[in-house]
Structure 1
Amino acid sequence: MSHRFALPTRLYLAMMGVLNGDTQASADVHFENFIEALCAIGFRNAGTNTTQVVLSGPAGLGNGGQPLLYIPVPVPAQHWWPYQYASVAHELERDFNITASMFIEIDETVTNGNAIVVPPPVV
């Protein structure tokens, strides 16, 4: 199953900085809000009400494109409903104070029915 959504470039770069030990970049990243926005796209494991976010890195960062981070995220069933693309973009803009022009479009793929795989943008 594959869908497309937008990830803010600045946030992506900041997250990559966090994963590489850049504490200055990590100060600008709010993982909880970001993950909540990803979860709002509308995917969860029906058995556990948990979504797993998998952040993959490009080959040039020393990990050969392998997943860098796995984050299990509980999603309360009573608060679950799928968001459309525009709603997710709006939430990300609101939470991270960025404009639509700062978004890049990337592929988001659900594997094994319980993981959101966030691949890096093409650089």
Structure 2
Amino acid sequence: MNGLSAFYTFLKTEFSEENLEFWLACEDYKKTRSKSKLVSKANRIFEEFIQNEAPREVNIDHETRELTRKNLTGATSACFDEAQAKTRTLMEKDSYPRFLKSTSYRKMTEQASSHGTSKQSHT
């Protein structure tokens, strides 16, 4: 299991995986080159994560939500930057430190270090 999937699994136990899903959706969105795809992806991301009562609504303030709604009219690769930054900060200051203290993280690092030791002894 890699670090990203371990963190995602941890977020699911806290019922906050939508933050990482949104962040990853934004990263994918920024790589989109087609203008028509940008528009459809932007609307899908907004409906899924940003609008009030969205199925996987992220925890952002009203001002950021409204700014993002306005940004949709342009549908540039940067229209989610502010909302994405807010969710990243939330994960950095809240979820990620808890993840680093979690049992699942400790187990993952123990496995990684034991695999690293066993590989080194074979050389």
TM-score by length of 2: 0.29
Compare the two structures and name the one with the higher helix fraction.
2
Q: Which has the higher contact order (CA 8 A, sep 6+)?
A: 1
TM-score by length of 1: 0.29
Radius of gyration: which is bigger?
A: 2
